[in-house]
Amino acid sequence: MRRSTTLLTRLAGAVAGAALAAAALVAVAGPARAATLTQVTGFGTNPGNLTMYAYRPDGLPAGAPAVVLLHGCTQNAAGYVANSGWQKYADQWKFALIVPQQSSANQALSCFNWFSEQDIARGRGEAASIAEMVGYAKSTYGLDGSRIAISGLSAGGAMVAVMLATYPELFAAGSVIAGVPYRCSPPAPTSTCQYSGVDRSPAAWGDLVRAAYPGYAGRRPRVAIWHGTADSSVVPANAVESRDQWTNVLGVAQTPTSTASLPAGTGLEVYGDDAVRLYRVSGMGHGTPVDPGSGVDQCGTATSYFLDTICSTYRDALFFGLGGGASPSPTAPSPTPTATTSPTAPPTVSPTPTAPPTCVTASNYAHVAAGRAYQSGGYAYAVGSNQRMGLYNVFYTSTLKQTAPGYWVVGC
């Protein structure tokens, strides 16, 4: 056995997710599909002794994007894909899922070892294994290497921070759900990180990330942070410290440039030019936010450590830029504005154009008011294609083209 388990007693109630049945492979209702979550072997030297799974939806085009998903403790790859809602959007918007799985041989609770020196450095252990999976998927599946994102819960969320720090060139964006900053532990004890939080300056947190890949001068991934305000397993102070870390790394201030109120008592703070997002879900405990239902912005299954509040997966998919590559299911309704800061808008989209194509140039505010677009997190998105148009205000102007009833794309 390659791991010491002396820290596991404290971890047991802290970053755990429910153990999930293998039958949870089926994530969304609908007709039977050929695509399944499949184990992949031979992806590399695998120094971290992890298992790789991949999900490629039917009709996945060449040059598609992908999302890496990291489960929480006691969870597995199949259960996390099934209950988080990611398969729904992978099917609709045609992107692949790369899903590493931890084992009890590495860590008794199947937690990713975010606190182990041998696993959180570039070129070593579990971090290197995950990087090998990404490289294998890019070359084997023909993915667009500039559009790879990563998301994870709890221990998986902490490992997301590890990957963003140690392999920034691999990822366009990441989402840390109920996690901790990179290198909170070590040097601090894991219990201190989880139950109290560690207070460092933004510069000190940022220096830890910069030291993970000395000399790196390339683009840094954008980061979303999710945390429940009632999380007692990984205290909400970690969300603030993560915010401080990644705003410093990305060179933006710790003062939000915009805020919004979203469903389920969720507050959103946006930093810089949408470089960092912080979502605080009021009253939510420890888990991934989901919102079961058939709506465009609904997803997931409410169960242990998947908490019925708001569909974080939908918001992250848009943040990752995945909604513009393909149309959602034709049976799904068009997206609607969700932030309470948006003006009252007609409930229906523009009428069918009399002579295609119809092109409209207007402010993003006017597009939303007319139903050609919707707004989320201070940005406007085209109805149908979900392409991001820029800031949601009266000063930012966009041109939209209607290509079908209720379907708009950017440009004309």
User: CB neighbours (10 Å) of residue 273?
Assistant: 12
Contact 297, 291 (CB under 8 A): yes
Contact in structure between 322 and 65 (CB atoms under 8 Å): yes
- Among 276, 266, 160, 180, smallest CA distance to 222 is for 276
Helices 125-141, 155-166: crossing angle, 10 deg rounding: 70
Integer-rounded Cα Rg, in Å, for the chain is 20
CB contact set of 273 (below 8 Å; sequence gap of 6+): 252, 257
Contact 368, 400 (CB under 8 A): no
CA 337 – CA 398 distance, rounded (Å): 18
Q: Which residue in the list 154, 233, 350, 376 is annotated as catalytic?
A: 154
Residue 329 designated active-site: no
C-alpha–C-alpha distance, residues 365 and 164, integer Å: 34
**Residue 254 phi, psi (nearest 5):** -85, 10
- Give the active site residues: 154
